[in-house]
Structure 1
Amino acid sequence: MPVTPFPLIEVAGPPLRRGEIHGEAARGRVALSIQHYSEQMGRMGFGKDRIAEVCNGFLPALRDWAPDLVEEMEGIARGAGCSLDEVVLLNARTEVLQIAHRETGHRDDEPDGCTGAVILPEGTAEGHVIHGQNWDWKAECAETSVVLHIRRENGPDLLTFTEAGGLARSGMNAAGIAITANYLECERDYRAVGIPLPLIRRRALEAQHFALALKVVATTPKSGSNNMMLSHAGGEAVNFECAPDEAFTLFSDEDMIVHANHWQSAVALSKLRETGLPSVPDSLYRDRRVRRRLMQARGKVTADDLKDALFDDFATPYAVCRPPLQKEGGNLSATVAMIIMEPALGRMQIAPLPAINRHFTEYQLEPECDFPTARAAE
């Protein structure tokens, strides 16, 4: 499989125009992604008409919650030459795949795994936040993902790595806020229709203030569980283990937060039932491996240290950094991308398929201010 850097797409203007630019620039990748998920769900017995019906079912709530983001998706559809429900599919593919699985009883998807970490300024060599993750999903997504640089007139600019046609995944904004996310499951999932996860992450990245980003993640109703880790360049981080209707907080321990794909909050585990481990048993050691490596450099962690931790290949192919692996259902699972962010510097580095490629491309965002560092305070 060829390994090329993720293309950078710069968008600006009102929502519809932003979407049109995105759709036009990523037309081929959008079409490939739609084809991939449609064919996958077709193999599950979930046809195109049912996909469209489920996707359109999200729109009433989305128009009430974020009409501007629906308008942006309409622009993406116009620019990419596809339908609005197909763009909704790209933004709600986690939810639609889970609904398909529950309706058909057939699972043809690998959980959207990840191993993520935030190191606070006191734990780093340069005294600023380092935030990153490995995104474990379908290896084919190395050919369907992009980096969006969104220039905004009424809020901070933002930089986000996402599947083409998606509104956000991992990213950071000019106000110093960064976010990554990890798959979780519990028995409360998919009892009601909530807001798709990429739109929640996008809203968090649009926030001018950290408190407002936290509010979006903690209080927005979701269809399924998800772990979302937020940090701020000023020196703070909060991890939310989110059930569809409730969020449980985890805070830094020894200047860092590390999370994979199982519930860690004692409060959460006293109230709900973990159902994801049968799909991701390797989660139980992935976060421990990363934390152990970071602790070796505690107080002087660099971006290279986080990269080294995320390159860990213990128990490969079920490792922190996993090579492309053919699954029983025909899917090719892998660590699709390693994303390293230093929000105070406006620096994002991404390596596609890092188990077979260690070349990082740097993407830059201009911070709105100079964020103080822990070393400067000392």
Structure 2
Amino acid sequence: MLPYLRLSGSPYDQGIAQGTAWAERIAHNLELYFRRFEVECKLPPFEARSRGERYFAAIQQQNPAYAAGLEGIAAGSGQPLVDIATLNVRYEIVYYQFAQDTAPVYLAHEAPNGCTAFALMPAHSADGHLWLGQNWDWMEGVQGALQHITEPDGTRILAFTEAGIFGGKIGLNSHGLGLCINGLVSVGDNWAGLGKPFHLRTYEVLRQKALSQAKAVIIANPRTASGNFLLGQGGQAVDLEVSPMGIGIWEEERQLVHANHYLAPERFGIEVPPIEWLDRSHHRAERLGLRLGEVEKPGLEDLKAALSDRDGAPYAVCRTASPEEYALGEPYRTIVSVIMNLGTKELWISDGPPHENPYVRYQV
């Protein structure tokens, strides 16, 4: 089972609690990411910290509550605030490098090749509820955890996060609003634009009461980094492909499936740099869509089976590390698999690839 922590109180108090409880895991993730910044992204620690410091100043203006949460994590874990801030904008730092012509060969061929998400509409599910889910694929060594948060306004949130990243990135809340995510890259991504960072947007989404409010958070300007956000509530789901140049909006009658490529970037004025691994992303999306369509009205066990699909292994929907990755850099795998019933407000999560690790059930 993943570490599980209940949090409440002010953002600073929540940060203190997370930092104290997960101090060792946070130290581990900081070491992992700063090594990755330097070895794979060619960013020495002082440059990574400089970017984190600049971004923290922007976050203080964009969302003081989130900034207070980072201060709490730093105080609770005993880590420098600049390091915690850098960790919380690691998406902007790393994905910016992915999109560069000078990116290391390993990055250009592989990362961010992970994460396959879906939404299954109520009319096509076994129990008549809206379901969301995904496999979150990332570096094998990253340490995550599950948070059960009670906000001062009474909103309750179940969310997965990486230890040291505040607020949550995949999950649902007591208003029946759910969120899944995928990494994307496009021409124009630029961390130095200092738009609201990816993890601040997921933090804000999970605290909204209505789907329309969550959508507004995602599409708000300025957008200086690409990303995909799959949102659902009640009987509606929408997929938002975000880039600095435009926004792709997708809705379907039966199901939505998304991996790590834009579905039709030219339709929305989005330009994608040449990245060789995108064929693997297409394969995962096609396989998950196929598996969801095999059953007329899928239930929980069907969704588990779909996310456990190993076709094309190791680069499958259910991802495991390939032998070549151990020689080239940080191996990738499915870190967690998440399934959410937005009607009953239940969440199932696996600690590792679901074909060999059981799901554990939680409820908001």
Decide: shared fold, TM above 0.5: yes
2:335 counterpart residue number:
336
> Structure 1 residue 106: deviation in Å?
3.1
> Structure 1 residue 262: deviation in Å?
1.1
**Structure-1 separation of matches of 2:144 and 2:281:** 24
SS in 2 for 1:322: coil
Higher alpha-carbon deviation: 92-101 or 10-19 = 92-101
SS in 1 for 2:343: helix
1:246 counterpart residue number:
246
One of 28, 48, 54 as aligned partner of 1:57: 54
Higher alpha-carbon deviation: 217-226 or 316-325 = 217-226
Q: What is the one-letter code of the residue matched to 1:313? A: R
Equivalent positions of 1:119-268 (< 5 A) are 119-141=120-142, 144-167=143-166, 168-190=168-190, 192-232=193-233, 234-253=234-253, 255-265=254-264, 268=266
Query: Contact 1:16–1:71 at 8 Å: present in 2 too?
Result: yes
Query: Contact 1:170–1:180 at 8 Å: present in 2 too?
Result: yes
**Structure-1 separation of matches of 2:354 and 2:207:** 32
SS in 1 for 2:65: helix
Q: Does 1:322 align with 2:319?
A: yes
Q: What value does the CA root-mean-square deviation take over the aligned residues?
A: 1.9
Query: Contact 2:113–2:280 at 8 Å: present in 1 too?
Result: no
One of 39, 44, 49 as aligned partner of 1:43: 39
SS in 2 for 1:345: coil
Output the TM-score relative to the length of structure 2: 0.92
Query: Contact 1:219–1:246 at 8 Å: present in 2 too?
Result: no
Higher alpha-carbon deviation: 24-33 or 84-93 = 84-93
> Structure 1 residue 120: deviation in Å?
1.1
Query: Contact 2:37–2:44 at 8 Å: present in 1 too?
Result: yes
Query: Contact 1:219–1:247 at 8 Å: present in 2 too?
Result: no
- The count of residues paired between Structure 1 and Structure 2 equals 355
SS in 1 for 2:53: helix
One of 13, 18, 43 as aligned partner of 1:17: 13
Identity of aligned residues (%): 28
Equivalent positions of 1:109-128 (< 5 A) are 109=107, 110-111=111-112, 113-128=114-129
Cα deviation code 1:173-206 (max 9, x no counterpart): 0000000111112112117222211110110110
Q: What is the one-letter code of the residue matched to 1:338? A: S
**Structure-1 separation of matches of 2:314 and 2:211:** 37
Q: What is the one-letter code of the residue matched to 2:56? A: L
Q: What is the one-letter code of the residue matched to 1:62? A: I
**Structure-1 separation of matches of 2:189 and 2:182:** 15
**Structure-2 separation of matches of 1:78 and 1:107:** 38
One of 277, 280, 287 as aligned partner of 1:279: 277
1:373 counterpart residue number:
none
Q: What is the one-letter code of the residue matched to 1:38? A: F
SS in 2 for 1:324: coil
> Structure 1 residue 107: deviation in Å?
5.6
Unaligned runs of 5+ in 1: 366-378
Query: Contact 1:159–1:171 at 8 Å: present in 2 too?
Result: yes
**Structure-2 separation of matches of 1:276 and 1:115:** 20
**Structure-2 separation of matches of 1:273 and 1:209:** 31
> Structure 1 residue 358: deviation in Å?
2.9
One of 67, 72, 92 as aligned partner of 1:70: 67
> Structure 1 residue 99: deviation in Å?
4.3
**Structure-1 separation of matches of 2:224 and 2:50:** 16
**Structure-2 separation of matches of 1:360 and 1:121:** 22
Change (3 A) 1:356 1:330: farther
**Structure-1 separation of matches of 2:113 and 2:207:** 24
Q: What is the one-letter code of the residue matched to 1:90? A: L
Change (3 A) 1:363 1:89: farther
1:304 counterpart residue number:
301
Q: What is the one-letter code of the residue matched to 1:170? A: I
**Structure-2 separation of matches of 1:65 and 1:198:** 13
Cα deviation code 1:73-131 (max 9, x no counterpart): 10011001101221122221121123456597436653162110000110101110111
**Structure-2 separation of matches of 1:264 and 1:76:** 37
**Structure-1 separation of matches of 2:225 and 2:44:** 22
> Structure 1 residue 11: deviation in Å?
0.8
Query: Contact 1:186–1:243 at 8 Å: present in 2 too?
Result: yes
**Structure-1 separation of matches of 2:160 and 2:221:** 22
